């Protein structure tokens, strides 16, 4: 339930023969085991968001496939749901209605929706804010709503597009710890796109480092550090140096 | 215990009242020029003009005369009768003009619909509603249908244009988020696209009702036997300048009331909209 396989994936914008075409991804192959947390690390413009959009079903691949448990992804849906950088909360719905939206789309009966919603309100720490609207919440709290809304539909694959980029440094660190806590409570296969080396090390089981355009997986690294991750640990520092070198080669 | 809850209850209310009166006191000085102008008008109509040229005085009735005439027209129900006739036309025209909302959503959402319908709209839109009066009289004769047609034309385009803008300005990530949570296309349309464009639709309705109200008076000037436009044009033929001004003031005040009502309604119904709360 959530084994992700990306096979020989390429994405070319514009017609392949014309001079104006842009190769965003070339021959990307990647595998993420069930309930693993995978970070995709790369500079902006390396095609990592394109990879995520294809996995979410928003864009079709030019060649190759993205599959969950051997079922190719073709359309967006709750199985492969996405958390956005700008949260994309529905401004006319309060916290509960936002979280319950996907459940309503799944046609769950009202009492079940209520139970699941209140479970996730508690899990992400939003108790007491159930009837607040997004514009009444801080950035960190909006991100919590977005996480709860995505988890509530029980996705097989959770996609995150630089989810903490819009937060200030303190909130970002705090929300990263929160994400790990929530993910350990309810494990999911997660693919998180980031350009922050520390974020990748802190959160993930494996890191795919991307090359510059056209994007390819340059190196796939398993992170075998105990959680919670200690930034002063020697292995952490070594890994950070290695990732920095890999990234710097791409500048 | 009881006393403390009571004082808590009273405190915010009295504070609100305090804020309201202080606001009133701050606003009142702004009316100085208006009051002076009315006084000068009163002087000109009752003292100065009659001395210079008594005939001119008929053309410029005094504020007191207008107030007396207005009170008489309210008491006799005449003003209310014409106002109701106008409001009824405005309302029936709006019911038809509201078709601009689904059309605008379709045009904003489906490129094919936009590409096909937009050229027609772009040709029709710059034609002022009043330019339709001659043709509409031939089509509908003189009466409610003809009036409502002119008002409808005034309302339709502001509502249509604003609805299209509202749909096109929806954050594309909201649509993606809804799809990513499993929403089928018809749910995306009703729960996200329609909901998200409502603030802009309400703005369109506000502008539309305003333009419609202006077109209404013009339509009634030419082709009606009732309504505020008819009232002031009818009074002209009897040289009743006081009645004309009462009618004009009513048109202005009711227009302002309609606009304010829609604004308040929008803020009440869509408390989340930052655009409407401004």
Interface test with A, best of B171, B176, B178, B181 (most A CBs within 10 A): B181
Work out the minimum CA distance from B262 to partner chain A, whole angstroms.
Answer: 19
Residue B18 confidence (pLDDT): 61
pLDDT tens-digit readout, A199-221: 999 999 999 999 887 888 888 99
In this prediction the pTM is 0.84
ipTM: 0.92
Nearest CA in chain B to A54: B180
pLDDT range class, residue A120, cuts 50, 70, 90: very high
Given CB atoms, is A107 within the 8 Å cutoff of chain B?
no
What 3-state DSSP class applies to B39?
Answer: helix
When CB atoms are compared, the residue of A76, A89, A92 closest to B195 is A92
Q: Can you read off the two tokens belonging to residue B168? A: 């096109």
Distance CA B116, CA B133 (A): 27
Name which of B179, B187, B192 is nearest A76 (Cβ-Cβ). Answer: B179
Of residues A56, A86, A133, nearest to B180 (C-beta) = A56
* B41: nearest Cα among B17, B55, B56, B60: B60
pLDDT the model gives residue B22: 77
Digit-by-digit pLDDT tens for chain B (278 residues) are 344 444 444 444 455 556 667 777 888 888 999 999 999 999 999 898 888 888 877 888 999 999 999 999 999 999 999 999 999 999 999 999 999 999 999 999 999 999 999 999 999 999 999 999 999 999 998 889 999 999 999 999 999 999 999 999 999 999 999 999 999 999 999 999 999 999 999 999 999 999 999 999 889 988 888 999 999 999 999 999 999 999 999 999 999 999 999 999 999 888 888 777 76
Residues B179, A86: C-beta atoms closer than 8 Å = no
Interface contact B195-A90, CB threshold 8 A: yes
Put simply, whether A76 touches B (Cβ < 8 Å) is yes
pLDDT digits (tens, 9 = 90+) for A3-37: 999 999 999 988 767 777 888 898 999 999 999 99
Distance CA B166, CA A192 (A): 32
Q: A153 — contact with chain B (CB < 8 Å)? A: yes
SS3 A190: strand
Chain-centre distance of CA B84, in angstroms?
Answer: 15
Nearest C-alpha in B relative to A105: B183
Q: Which residues contact B93 (CB under 8 A, 6 or more apart)?
A: B147, B148, B149, B151, B152, B155, B212, B216
CA-based nearest distance A107→chain B, Å: 10
Could you tell me if A160 and A81 are in contact, meaning their C-beta atoms sit under 8 angstroms apart? no
């Amino acid at each position: 339930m959530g084994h992700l396989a990306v096979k020989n994936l390429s994405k070319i914008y514009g017609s392949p023969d014309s001079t104006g075409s842009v190769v965003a991804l070339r021959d990307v192959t990647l595998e993420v085991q069930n309930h693993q947390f995978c970070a995709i690390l790369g500079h902006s413009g390396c095609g990592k968001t394109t990879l995520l959009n294809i996995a979410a079903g928003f864009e079709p691949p030019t060649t190759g496939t993205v599959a969950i448990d051997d079922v190719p992804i073709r359309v967006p849906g709750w199985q492969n749901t996405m958390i956005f950088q700008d949260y994309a909360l529905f401004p006319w719905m309060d916290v509960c209605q936002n979280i319950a939206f996907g459940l309503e789309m799944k046609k769950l009966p009202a009492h079940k929706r209520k139970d699941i919603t209140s479970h996730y309100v508690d899990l992400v720490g939003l108790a007491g804010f159930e009837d607040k609207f997004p514009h009444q919440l801080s950035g960190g709290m909006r991100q919590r709503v977005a996480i709860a809304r995505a988890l509530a539909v029980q996705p097989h694959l959770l996609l995150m597009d630089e989810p903490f980029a819009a937060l200030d440094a303190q909130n970002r660190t705090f929300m990263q710890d929160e994400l790990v806590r929530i993910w350990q409570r309810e494990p999911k296969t997660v693919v998180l796109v980031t350009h922050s080396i520390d974020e990748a090390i802190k959160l993930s089981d494996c890191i795919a480092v991307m090359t510059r355009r056209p994007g390819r997986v340059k190196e796939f690294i398993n992170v075998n550090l105990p959680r919670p991750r200690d930034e002063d640990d020697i292995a952490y520092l070594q890994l950070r140096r290695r990732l920095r070198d890999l990234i710097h080669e791409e500048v | 215990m009881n006393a403390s809850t009571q004082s808590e209850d009273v405190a915010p209310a009295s504070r609100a009242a305090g804020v309201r009166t202080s606001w009133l006191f701050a606003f009142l000085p702004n009316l100085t020029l208006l009051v002076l102008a009315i006084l000068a008008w009163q002087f000109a109509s009752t003292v100065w003009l009659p001395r210079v040229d008594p005939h001119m005085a008929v053309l410029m009735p005094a504020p007191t005369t207008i107030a007396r005439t207005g009170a008489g027209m309210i008491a006799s129900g005449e003003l209310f009768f014409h106002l109701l006739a106008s409001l009824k036309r405005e309302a029936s025209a709006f019911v038809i003009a509201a078709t601009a909302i689904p059309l605008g959503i379709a045009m904003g959402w489906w490129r094919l619909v936009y590409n096909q319908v937009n050229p027609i709209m772009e040709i029709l839109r710059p034609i002022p509603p009043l330019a339709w009066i001659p043709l509409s009289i031939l089509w509908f004769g003189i009466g409610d249908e003809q009036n409502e047609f002119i008002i409808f034309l005034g309302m339709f385009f502001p509502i249509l244009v604003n609805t299209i803008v509202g749909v096109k300005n929806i954050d594309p990530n909201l649509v993606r988020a809804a799809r990513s949570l499993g929403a089928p296309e018809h749910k995306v349309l009703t729960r996200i696209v329609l909901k998200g464009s409502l603030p802009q639709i309400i703005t369109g309705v506000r502008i539309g009702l305003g333009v419609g109200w202006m077109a209404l008076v013009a339509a009634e000037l030419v082709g009606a036997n009732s309504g505020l436009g008819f009232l002031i044009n009818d009074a002209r033929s009897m040289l009743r300048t006081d009645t004309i001004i009462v009618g004009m003031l009513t048109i202005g005040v009711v227009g302002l009331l309609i606009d304010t009502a829609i604004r308040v309604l929008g803020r009440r119904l869509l408390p989340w909209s930052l655009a409407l709360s401004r």
